[in-house]
Structure 1
Amino acid sequence: MTDKRDRRITDVGTLKALAHPLRMKLYRLLLLAGTATASQLAGQVDEAVSLVSYHLRKLAEHGLIEEAEPGSGDGRERWWQPASDGVSIRSADFRDAPEKVAAHVAASRLFQEQRAEMYRTYLDERAHWGTEWNAAVVDSESLLRLTAGELAELKQELLDVLKKYDEQGRARAAAGESEGREHIALHMYGFPFRV
């Protein structure tokens, strides 16, 4: 994988490429797996290998994923990996034209819907996770009264904490400490509203 942290998406074409329901699922799965083939991913999303291959090539056209070293001796299979550790999408990059605003809103809605679906799946399956995991899960809502500057400061502090735990978890997993380690989705939203 190339040495990149988060890739900042600033163009509508790349945003639209990622903001396709199946492509976003495939991208997330590759982030978790590190590398995979279209066949492996097709089994996880219950789609035809040819359709998954098509969408992987579209992600690659926009530099979101790239070919990886083969993970098996079968040279017929094409292996893929994320081109970076993740992506960042900022509304400031999509404000200067109505079609950019619309693309950003549509993408944001898709991402939120998929995040909500991930959480609903957990809720449906939480009885199978056991007491320790259920006690560790966070589900909270805070209604604060802040300025835009204070919200930006809070966001940065939270992102710094997340980065610390991500780096710590990756280092421990790389050191072989994988016992009890699971994939964790942490979704945060901080936005203004009026009543």
Structure 2
Amino acid sequence: MARKKDRRIDDVGTLKALAHPLRMRLFRALYLERVATASRLAELVDEAVSLVSYHLRKLAEHGLIEEAEPQSEDGRERWWQPASDGVSIHEEDFRDAPEKVAAHTAASRLFYEQRGELYLRHLDERPHWGPEWNSAAIDSEYLPRMTAAELADLSRELDALIRKHNEQARARAAAGETEGRENVALHVYGFPFRP
């Protein structure tokens, strides 16, 4: 199957499939591994292989992941890979019915909670990363006054910039430049609020 550059999730069924705490952790782990077995993913998320296999099949039913070419001679294990280079979820696809709004809100809350947990873990582990990584890490808050159109423009520019750097990093890694390379989480939120 040809991989899609990005997968836009615009149906409630797929959104609910991804918005399960363990499935989201598995999807994130598989995204980082690129190709893995249920056994490897079970190690990464500290869950039973049978439970992980079940949830991987659910992700596959919704086209979020797919079977990959075997990476070993052992034919007993299934290999999995993400079905696309990324996923995106847009509020506009879920605003036309109350149940869709509720599903999108619940999913967004779960994603935020998991991202928050990841950042809190980083804070706890920060002393072990050393000065180079700690100096490079980003922890900023900006409070500009913008219009919705200006925020949308900023969002597009940030997305393009992040994608450019991600593609460059992947190309360098593929070329063998792996020394000092780590997974990096970059969470960006931009939203209106009133004090």
TM-score (norm 1): 0.99
One-letter amino acid of the structure 1 residue matched with residue 38 of structure 2: A
The 5 A counterparts of 1:3-152 are: 3-152=3-152
Aligned match of 2:194: 194
**Distance in 2 between residues matched to 1:46 and 1:161, nearest whole Å:** 34
User: Where in structure 1 are there 5+ consecutive unaligned residues?
Assistant: none
What's the CA shift for 1:26? 0.3
Instruction: State the identity %.
Output: 74
For the residues of structure 2 that align with 1:142 and 1:5, how far apart are their CA atoms? 30
Q: Give, in angstroms, the shift of residue 5 of structure 1.
A: 1.0
Q: What TM-score does the superposition give when structure 2 sets the normalisation length?
A: 0.99
Q: 2-side partners of 1:116 and 1:193: how far apart? A: 19
Corresponding residue for 2:175? Answer: 175
**Distance in 2 of aligned mates of 1:147 and 1:61:** 40
Displacement, 1:46?
Answer: 1.0
Distance in 1 between residues matched to 2:158 and 2:135, nearest whole Å: 21
Q: CA RMSD in A?
A: 0.7
Deviations 1:34-60 (A, max 9, x none): 111111111111111100000000000
Letter aligned with residue 161 of structure 1: L
Q: What SS does the aligned partner of 1:192 have?
A: coil
Q: Deviations over 1:45-84 (max 9, x none)?
A: 1111100000000000000000001111110001000000
Structure 2 Cα separation of the partners of residues 37 and 157 of structure 1: 36
Deviation at 1:151, TM superposition (A): 0.3
* Distance apart, 1:155 and its partner CA: 0.5
Matches within 5 A, 1:158-173: 158-173=158-173
Q: One-letter code of the match for 2:35?
A: T
Inter-partner Cα distance in structure 2 for 1:181 and 1:64: 26
Shift in Å at residue 2 of structure 1? 2.5
Divergent runs of 4+, >4 A? none
Q: Distance in 1 between matches of 2:2 and 2:178?
A: 24
* Corresponding letter in the other structure for 1:145: R
Return the offset for 1:4: 1.0
Matched letter for residue 27 of structure 2: Y
